[in-house]
Structure 1
Amino acid sequence: MLTPAQISQYHHDGYLVLKNFCSKEEIDKLYAVALEDGAMKKNALDLNDQAGKKTKLSLWFTPGNDVFGYLTRSNKVIQSIAPLLDSDAPVCHFHSKLMQKEPRVGGAWEWHQDYGYWYKNQFMFPDQLISIMVALTEANKENGCLQVIRGSHKLGRVNHGFAGEQVGADAVMVENALQTMELVYVELEPGDALIFHSNILHRSEANLSDRPRWSVISCYCSQSNIAYNETSTSWKVPVDIVPDEAILTWEAESLSNADFLKKEDDPALKETGWEKEVAVK
């Protein structure tokens, strides 16, 4: 359970780091599955940044009876995010994604807010959307760790346009935010977790090191947060919570049963027309 101080810090900063959120044994198992499960590789999407470098991600919606499903449905995850959502409605799982930044070739993520994407899904309430990232490998400046602008979630949603195959925030607003608020490099050890608000501005640089940076990011919403332009259904189904020990001790299925996203089905990557008016840094 989060302390009152941690809850206050999240609302003030827009993010919260939880050290040693997962044990070494849990991370070893999750990382092994990430490397070895054929469904992860088969369903990985390549997204080009503005420089043409590629970042791989595999994204699925319904949390299943695989090891990543046990993580996203675990009591410790749900108990950590539920107090931070602006609703008493049940917590639902929107989607999870395995982020795969390979050494020397892993691309950057431009400055953006997650709600810059999810606005196109027509979710109504950004304060009822949240993400938790668990580091599977070390994340630092050298291999392109996440950067956040502390407190930028209080800006509300800023306009977004396209940056390569990504959606990026308006460059003027990003520059204004950087002059007003603190830039933070969120360096993590394997097993650390980062919880962050859907409107916090964040980015990551390309991985030019000789070490991979892999993480799993799970995104949640309150059941009261209706999405009027989302064809998946997990976002409105309360999470079937499992005990934390499920990650290590329960029999796990392959991710081949997961409902992975196909790039052509992502509404966030479809033009609406107004993106062309937005300059992206």
Structure 2
Amino acid sequence: MMSVQVAIDDADKTNGTLQIIRGSHKMGRIYHGRIGDQAGADMERVEAALQTMGKIYVDKKAGDALFFHCNLLHTSDQNLSDRRRWSYIMCYNRTDNDTYKDHFLNQSTLIKVPDSAVLECDDFTTMEGKIFHIPEQNKTFSYEYIPKKDDQ
């Protein structure tokens, strides 16, 4: 599994850019639990990793992409600036690397389409099979999956 973060806006220390612990992906999977309202890695392990591996602030310009291993320890600070810091994160997993728990979305094989498919996607009446963040329904970051008729 790997993740790709694409910066929609410029991100740097002043607006809470992504921070990574250099080489932490080589530590293997670290237990994650609840830390306040979010899930986070075991802080004892994180602190130990920081002692030898160090933290890197990953500044990005809008349009930059960061590809990273699923076990890379990462975080970001709260954005206390007056600048927006949006990014889009996609996670990719081999279909034979199934999880031991069910996800809220079923994994499916990607189907390659031409670049023009984005511009040709004009069926916004039913929204079947599409995933969208709907801020009016939920002020926290989340996704809503609108199933296709044959998924129901």
Answer yes or no: same fold by TM over 0.5.
Answer: yes
CA distance 1:253–1:140, change in 2 (3 Å): farther
Q: Does 1:250 align with 2:120?
A: yes
Letter in 1 for 2:69: H
Q: Does 1:240 align with 2:111?
A: yes
Residue number in structure 1 paired with 2:81: 209
* Unpaired segments ≥5 residues, structure 1: 1-128, 264-281
Residue aligned with 1:131, SS:
strand
Write the distance in 2 (CA, Å) between the matches of 1:132 and 1:207.
21
1:159 to 31, 37, 47: 31
Q: Does 1:188 align with 2:85?
A: no
TM-score by length of 1: 0.43
How far does the alpha carbon of each residue in 1:196-224 deviate from its partner, in whole angstroms, 9 at most, with x for none?
Answer: 11100000000011111111111110011
How far does the alpha carbon of each residue in 1:13-58 deviate from its partner, in whole angstroms, 9 at most, with x for none?
Answer: xxxxxxxxxxxxxxxxxxxxxxxxxxxxxxxxxxxxxxxxxxxxxx
Residue number in structure 2 paired with 1:139: 11
Write the distance in 2 (CA, Å) between the matches of 1:155 and 1:185.
20
CA distance 1:205–1:233, change in 2 (3 Å): closer
CA distance 1:252–1:216, change in 2 (3 Å): farther
Q: CA deviation at 1:242?
A: 1.6
CA distance 1:147–1:169, change in 2 (3 Å): same
Higher helix share: 1
Q: CA deviation at 1:228?
A: 3.2
Q: Does 1:130 align with 2:2?
A: yes
Residue aligned with 2:14, SS:
coil
Q: CA RMSD in A?
A: 2.3
TM-score by length of 2: 0.77
Write the distance in 2 (CA, Å) between the matches of 1:189 and 1:210.
17
* Unpaired segments ≥5 residues, structure 2: 141-152
Residue number in structure 2 paired with 1:72: none
Letter in 1 for 2:80: L
Residue aligned with 1:224, SS:
coil
Q: Quote the sequence identity (%).
A: 46
Letter in 1 for 2:86: W
CA distance 1:143–1:132, change in 2 (3 Å): same
Q: CA deviation at 1:162?
A: 0.9
